[in-house]
Structure formats: structure tokens, C-alpha cells
Amino acid sequence: MSEGKINKTVYLKDYCPPDYQIKTVHLSFYLGEEHTRVYSKLSITRSLGKKTPLILHGEALKLLSIQLNGQLLTESAYQINSESLTLHQVPDYFILEIETKIYPQKNTTLSGLYVSEGNFCTQCEAEGFRRITYFLDCPDVMATYTTTIIGNKEKYPVLLSNGNLIDQGDKENGEHFAIWQDPFPKPSYLFALVAGKLSSIQDKFITLSRREVNLSIYVQPHNIEKCTYAMASLKRSMAWDEQVYGREYDLDNYMIVAVDDFNMGAMENKGLNIFNSKFVLANPETATDTDYQYIEGVIGHEYFHNWSGNRVTCRDWFQLSLKEGFTVFRDQQFSASQSGSVVKRIEDVNRLRTYQFREDAGPMAHPVRPESYEEINNFYTVTIYEKGAEVVRMLHTLLGETGFRKGTDLYFERHNGQAVTTDDFVKALEDANQVDFSQFRLWYSQAGTPELHVQSSYDADQQTYSLKIKQACPPTPDQPYKKPFHLPLTIGLLDSQGKDIPLQLVGENNRIKGTQTLEIKNQEETFTFENISMSPTPSLLRGFSAPVKLHFELSDKERCFLLAYDNDSFNRWEAGQQLAVKIILSLTKDYQEGNLLKVSSIFIEAIAKFLENYKTDNQSFIAQLLILPSEHYLSEFMEVIDPEALYQARTFLRKTLAHSLKDYFNTIYHQLTSEKPYSFNPQEVARRTLRNICLGYLMMLDETEIHQRCFHQFKTADNMTDSIAALSYLADTKSTERESALSIFYERWKQDSLVMDKWLSIQASAKRDDTFEIVEQLSGHSAFKLTNPNKVRALIGTFCQNNLVNFHHPSGNGYKFLGEYICKLDPLNPQIAARLVSIFSFWKRYDPKRQTLMKDQLEQISRSPNLSKDVQEITLKSLKMN
């Protein structure tokens, strides 16, 4: 550990309401080329009975002056250090005026006020506002803000902040000003400021109550033609939130700004959302279908935060999932309504099981509502977001759509304008529906992924079918013992024809057609169904009704039966996935033992049946079925992860399918070719996806004719989806077409930063033997920029996190490469460096040689001078991993 740096742990149990509240905030920014002066005027009230000193947060600030009730304070009246400003003697109510100097042009952390491509912008969540001025920078301090921005009119013609524009005009010396006022009290993390040379597109939205809202999207002038889809997504989001949740927008303006340098996807600042450019900019030539889907989802997510995050915000950072988990669930609902619920659910579960389940089993495991943290930036995790969304989804399942809406209506009504907790959220759902969710709250306080072990039995004489269910949750670092969870287990029973059997539990009068949701509450319980005339095939955890690992023995024949007939599309897909998991893990073992690799025909025949019916079946579903489980997901089934063996086994299955089903893939590829211009809609997305997956399988055959076909698609494609698919397949080969395609792509798109991210990522993900050397070369390429998070994620993140076979090469070169870049990044941008450190967190899951090599890198990182709190926390917790 770097000398002299000890992280302070913050505990939920120590939470106390703030001793002071700030009621109004007046901010004035004087934007400069070398520094910016910030003047704040705060009206502050001491909480009744409190006599503690006033301690304001502050980082990387140069204090110029302080006035208390109009009196200039001398240095003897306050104390200042690198993290705070303390005033020991203050009255019960007072006006505090503070002037500071900050240096946005040098702020590579991208937290607080910084400059991106010549434009000023902010990122204040979680604790960036303290890098702007001294303040009570915590979410339960809510104030109204009036913001004045002054800057050079030629360099910064656009001046934006939260709320409504109340005045603007010119000043002397070529400067101008704008004054913005936000009438809604908000915490400082929702403050935003943008200034620069920006162009905009404008639109309007008429709310249910017939109010007119002005909509604006601001981007750099050369990107103005790429905003149309984002604006359409925004309007669909606004209409959907009114229809499904009854939530209207509340300001006169809703503004979005896209910037290239951004640590996150986007930020929901009240009325002025700041976005990473990749989640706003799109046209068919530069954006893929996936990009369009992400844009719609992220636009919706940030808009939905206006109520689930802004109007009702979190009391403290332990409650982060109050806004993020709920809002992720809302954006998942929205996206499913636009593009199809089944495929969206598959994508969401895939992400959860690949990354969140892994997090639950690692050194950074934590509950949805953590009990402690050292650096809050490290807790913007898949547990907070995705698992938090699954917890809300379970509440939705248990209450039903009507009951859940009643609960959320009460939640918004009861807590409008307040900073509250996850308990407050659950309490509103309880009160609205007269139910008790005391046990359910364990989902917020217990870490880890529960496991359900299910056994079944059929009694032909009694015509009953029983499910015996045991639940257990493995210990996590801070929680060795777990209480039973309350969870919904949605099931169906299929007869010999694949039809759902009506379900009736013994002792109950109602007979439910098809799917039934069982409420699991005990460590062990049995559910018995009567009037079951034949031994059924069970379909368990339909729709992935709870974020658990299900252990239930099914034969390959039974899984193929579910794959063919299950009425729950998610479970049809899941049956195929589990068949593939079993096959690949068996191949992995054979590879390790030097045995001949072979694949049972049952899986190939099952896939062939779907390909035969591709014209009449759901093409999106078939496409998902053809995507084999990822190496990340497969690795969770291995006690000791063997990246080489996993890669070889998965590749062998892909090649086997390619050889066995070549005629199907050829036919589908040609028949799904279309001469129509690009359009983004569910049907066309499904067509392109299935066609390109078929091309991917054909490329596994490594035949010259197919390489040429792929290169032809690359050259002639009228859209980025088809172009990038072909390029990614070529990038994996040693064909002559590979270098030509990469060169053509670069020359065409070298001026487009976001497209260059794709170019970097494709090469970093290639499974060639020389990929590491290529990545090293690209790290010195002009297309790569260490201070831009998107570039780091595209090249270093893709190689180290997604290219397992090359990153984990026994030489350890990948580990050394990552360790060096973490140390380079940490002084510049600790948040991005910390994300990269987490890749090393699972070092003990590998063989002894790899363990030693990864541990060496963690130890070297821990000894780095002036290590950030972000990186230090993850590094030390990883080293302590049991």
C-alpha cells in the first residue's frame, strides 16, 4: 500500500441527518482559459439542538475568500485541508459566501467541472460538486439553485444549467451571461453546467395535462445530423412514463448534451442531462442496431430518473439502488415494450448472470444496499444496478402490474421532494397493497446469489406432482450466514404434447391455467399439485422470475423437449443454453485430458429444427439461440478456470455446428439478404442479426470463398451493423481480406471518434495469436487517447476483460500490460483505473501460475505512490480474497 494513505470506511449504521441544511444556492461561474472562478452564496440553517462546527467538503480547490453574513473572514476563523473547510463559530442561520478558483482544463478525472473538446461540462455524481466549491456534498442536503454563467461569447456561445432560463445578455469585453433557476430542491450531485460551441436540434412535447415542454439536444456542430433518433427516443420515453407510471415532466425545458469525455453512460442532472456521445449520436452509416438499442435504453433511463431519482432521491449513498435499481427496471420495461420482451429479457439475464453473479462471488461482493464503503465511486456496480432491478422486478411479480402501480403511485406522492431509503420504497408498496414484505427486505441487506435445489416426484396413484425446494446462499466476505429469502418462483408443467397443464395446489380451490408463481419463503418447503394425470416435464423459473442459480436435474431429452415446446420463450432459450453449457464443459474436460473432442447429435438436431422454421418462427429468438454461452459465463461453472481449454471447447462446438449445418446457414444468409434501405425496427433488426450470425458460423469454416463473401458484405454494406459484423469476422482470420478491410475502415472513419472506438475494439477482441502485440501497437496509435474513457474501454477494457484466451496467456504479458496501464491511468482518472483493477479481482479462480502472475501485479499496484482511494480499495480487497 502506498505510504501514508489509509482509506476511511463509511458505515450505514453511522448515518445521521446533517447538522446543517442549505436552503438556497446562488452560483456564479466566471469561465476562463486557464482557470475558472466560482462564487457561491449559500443560505444555511443549523439543525435544532446541534452545536457542531460547520464542515464543508472540498477537493482540488483554491480558496480566495469567505464572507459570513457580509463579513470577510480571516484565516484564523476557519481551518482548511485537502478535503474540507471547517468553520467553528457560526450562528443558527446565516449567509455564507465563498469564492474559489478551479482548473477545469487540467481536470482529467472528469469529476466536477472539466473541459471536453473545448467545451465546459460537469459530472457531480457521486461527489464531484466538492471539486467546484465548498459545500455539504451529500444527497440529503436539498436546495434550490440559481446559476449565473459568464464567459466569452465567441468561444462559449451556449451557456446551460439546470432549470429554466430566466435572463441572458451581453457584457463588456466580448463576454455574455445566462442565468438559470431550478425551482425544485435537489442535492448537489444533480447540479449541471455546460458551456461551449454547440449546435442543437429542437422539438416539443405536449404532456397529458397539455403543458408544452421544449426539448433540446446539444452536440458539437459536426454531429448535428446524428441526433434525430435520440430525440425520437426521448419523446417515446416521455409518453411511456405518462402511460405506464402516470409521471409527467415538470419543467419548461428538457435538455440533453453529448460530450466525448465522460466516465459513465450518462447523468440525470435535473433538466440538463449530460451524456456520453456514444449514447446519443447515431445514423445508419456510423451506428449499429445495438447502438440504437443502447441509445433508446439510456435516453429512457435518464429521463425516467426525473421522478425515480430526482423528484424522489436517495437519503445517502448506501441507498443508491433506490434510484438506480428502480430506474433500470423501468428502462428495461420501456425497451421491452419497444423491441420485444423475450429478447430483451434474455439480454438482461445474460448480463446479470455473466457479471453480477461473478461479482457476488468475488472480493467486492456487497448487498444491493451496502453496509459500508471506502470509495463510493466503486459502488456503481452491476449489483446496485442490475441486481437492484431484479429485486424491483420480483416486487412487480409478487404484486402484479396493478398492485405495483398502486405502490409506485403512493411512493411518488408520499415522498415527492424528499431524500429517502429503500425501506421507504418497499413500505409504500406494502401500504398500498396491505402486504408484509419484512422478509423480502433481505434482498437489500444480504449479499450473494441464492441457490435453489429442486427435486420432483410424481405419484401416479394419487395423480399428484410434488416439488421439494431447498434454498441456500453461499457465504460472502462480510456475511457468513444468510437467512432464507422471500422470492417468486414462476413455474409451468408440460404434458406429453408440450401443452401447459392447469395447476392446482393440494388444499386450494383455484385451478390456474398455465403459469403459476410460487412464493418461496422457507429454507425448505414442498409444493404438491393435484389432478396431474401424467408425469409432466417441469418448466421452472419461467421468465427468470428471481435472480438465483437453479439446480434441477433434467435429461438432454427433457431439455430438448422444453426447447421445442415450452410456452415460456425465456425457458425455451434457457433449455438450449443449458444443453450448450453441458456440452462445452464436457468438451473442456476432454481437451484438458487430451481426449478426442466430439459433440452429441441431439443438440445439433435441435438447432437444425429451428433453422428449418426460420421463416415462420421468431427470428430474434433463433438468433439468440445460436449465440453460445460466453466464456465468462461458462467459467463460473469451473472450480479452476482454464481460459485456453474453455476457448478451444467453445470454438470446437461452433465449428461443429458450422460444418453440420452449413447448408442451413448458407440458405438463411442468402434468403435474408435485402436490397431495401436500412431501417431500424424489430423485424429488420431480427433479420440482420440472424443473417450476420449465420455468416459468423460460416466464417468458422475458414474457406476462401466465404472470406470473399464476408469481404464483399463489408465493402457493399449501406449500414454499420452489416459492415462491422463482417469486419469483426475478418479480424479473427489470417486472410488477405483482413488487412484490406481494417485499412479501408480506418481511412473512411478516422475522423469519427466513436467509429474509431469500434475499430479499436474489434482488433482487441480478435482471437489471433498475435492480438496482444497488435493491442500494444494500437496503444500508441493516434486513434487511442489515454485520457478518453471510451478509448480506454474500447482497447484496454475489451482486450483484458473480453478476450480471455489472449489476456490470460500463460506468459503473463497481458497481466503486465494491464498493471502498467492502471498505474498510468490512476493519477489521471481514478474511476476508470479502478474499473480496470477489478479485472484482477478473481485471480484466485485460476491455476497457481496465473495466480502468482496476477497477484504480483496487484502487489505492484498497491505499492504505487499516491494511489487513489478508488484503486486502493479494490486492490487491497482483491489481495485479501480467500
Name which CATH class applies to 313-445: mainly alpha
CA distance 343 to 338: 11
Q: What is the DSSP string of 117-172?
A: TTEEEEE-TTTTGGGTS-B--STT--EEEEEEEEEETTT--EEEESSEEEEEEE-S
Alpha-carbon torsion angle 625, 629, 633, 639, nearest 10: 130
Range in 1-15, 500-514, 638-652 the model is least confident about:
1-15
pLDDT at 882 over 70: no
Closest CA to 867 of 153, 198, 2: 2
Cell numbers standing for residue 432: 398500498
* Greater model confidence, 209 or 341: 209
> Based on the number of CB atoms within 10 Å of its own CB, is 811 exposed (0-12), middle (13-18) or buried (19 or more)?
exposed
Closest CA to 301 of 265, 327, 338: 327
Q: Where are the alpha helices (DSSP H) in 661-807?
A: 662-671, 682-699, 704-716, 720-731, 736-749, 753-765, 771-778, 789-792, 804-807
- According to the model, what pLDDT value does residue 5 have? 55
* Greater model confidence, 514 or 719: 719
State the CB neighbour count (10 A cutoff) for residue 723.
25
pLDDT at 494 over 80: yes
52-80, pLDDT tens digit by residue? 999 999 999 999 999 999 999 999 999 99
CA distance 429 to 406: 7
Say if residues 197 and 275 touch (Cβ distance below 8 Å): no
CA distance 830 to 127: 13
Residues in the chain: 882
What is the DSSP code (8-state) at residue 502? Answer: P
Starting at the earlier edge strand, list the strands of the sheet with 84-87.
54-57, 84-87, 78-80
Say if residues 297 and 311 touch (Cβ distance below 8 Å): no
Q: 703: alpha, beta or left, given left = phi > 0 and alpha = psi -120 to 50?
A: beta
3-state secondary structure 504-532: CECCCCCCECCCEEEEECCCEEEEEEECC
Beta-bridge mates of residue 466 = 457, 528
CA-to-CA separations, 135 to 27, 183, 312, in angstroms, rounded? 12, 19, 21
Say if residues 119 and 264 touch (Cβ distance below 8 Å): no
* 127 carries an active-site annotation: no
Confidence band, pLDDT 50/70/90 cuts, at residue 847: very high
33-45, pLDDT tens digit by residue? 999 999 999 999 9
CA distance 357 to 449: 6
- According to the model, what pLDDT value does residue 478 have? 84
- According to the model, what pLDDT value does residue 340 have? 80
pLDDT at 839 over 80: yes
At which residue does the C-alpha cell 402484479 appear?
Answer: 400
CATH topology identical between 20-287 and 452-562: yes
Over residues 344-363, the mean pLDDT reads 96
Closest CA to 761 of 713, 724, 734, 733: 724
> Based on the number of CB atoms within 10 Å of its own CB, is 861 exposed (0-12), middle (13-18) or buried (19 or more)?
buried
CA distance 539 to 214: 49
Over residues 121-132, the mean pLDDT reads 98
248-275, pLDDT tens digit by residue? 999 999 999 999 999 999 999 999 999 9
* Sign of the alpha-carbon dihedral angle for 355, 359, 364, 368: positive
Write down the pTM of the prediction. Answer: 0.98
Over residues 512-535, the mean pLDDT reads 96
- According to the model, what pLDDT value does residue 4 have? 42
The domain defined by 452-562 folds into: Immunoglobulin-like (2.60.40)
The interaxial angle of helices 704-716 and 682-699, nearest 10 deg, is: 150
What is the DSSP code (8-state) at residue 472? Answer: E
Contacts of 526 (CB under 8 A, 6+ apart): 466, 467, 468, 469
692-733, pLDDT tens digit by residue? 999 999 999 999 999 999 999 999 999 999 999 999 999 999
585-626, pLDDT tens digit by residue? 999 999 999 999 999 999 999 999 999 999 888 999 999 999
Cα 180–Cα 183–Cα 184 angle in degrees, nearest 5: 125
CA distance 147 to 274: 17
State the CB neighbour count (10 A cutoff) for residue 502.
14
Mean pLDDT of the chain, nearest integer: 97
Whether domain 20-287 has CATH 2.60.40.1730: yes
Strand duo 10-11 + 372-373: pairing: antiparallel
Closest CA to 208 of 245, 182, 175: 245
Cell numbers standing for residue 489: 418462483
CA distance 124 to 269: 9
Q: What is the DSSP string of 379-428?
A: G-SHIIIIIHHHHHHHHHHHHHHHHHHHHHHHHHHHHTTEEE-HHHHHHH
Beta-bridge mates of residue 19 = none
What are the residue boundaries of the structural domains of the chain, listed by start? Answer: 20-287, 313-445, 452-562
Q: What is the DSSP string of 285-313?
A: TT--HHHHHHHHHHHHHHHHTTTBTTTEE
pLDDT at 101 over 50: yes
The SS3 of residue 665 is helix
Starting at the earlier edge strand, list the strands of the sheet with 212-219.
199-206, 212-219, 253-259, 272-276, 266-267
What is the DSSP code (8-state) at residue 838? Answer: G
pLDDT at 868 over 50: yes
pLDDT at 394 over 50: yes
Share of the chain above pLDDT 90, in %: 96
The SS3 of residue 719 is coil
- According to the model, what pLDDT value does residue 525 have? 97
Cell numbers standing for residue 652: 470446437
- According to the model, what pLDDT value does residue 3 have? 43
Strand duo 451-459 + 464-472: pairing: antiparallel
At which residue does the C-alpha cell 441526433 appear?
Answer: 227
Beta strands of 191-245 (E only): which ranges? 193-196, 199-206, 212-219
pLDDT at 327 over 50: yes
pLDDT at 1 over 50: no
How distant is the alpha carbon of residue 872 from its chain centre?
Answer: 23
The SS3 of residue 816 is helix
CA distance 371 to 330: 25
Say if residues 80 and 88 touch (Cβ distance below 8 Å): no
- According to the model, what pLDDT value does residue 2 have? 43
Catalytic residue among 97, 125, 302, 430: 302
- According to the model, what pLDDT value does residue 6 have? 63
Q: 368: alpha, beta or left, given left = phi > 0 and alpha = psi -120 to 50?
A: alpha
Alpha-carbon torsion angle 643, 777, 818, 784, nearest 10: -120
State the CB neighbour count (10 A cutoff) for residue 81.
8
Closest CA to 145 of 309, 271, 287, 248: 271
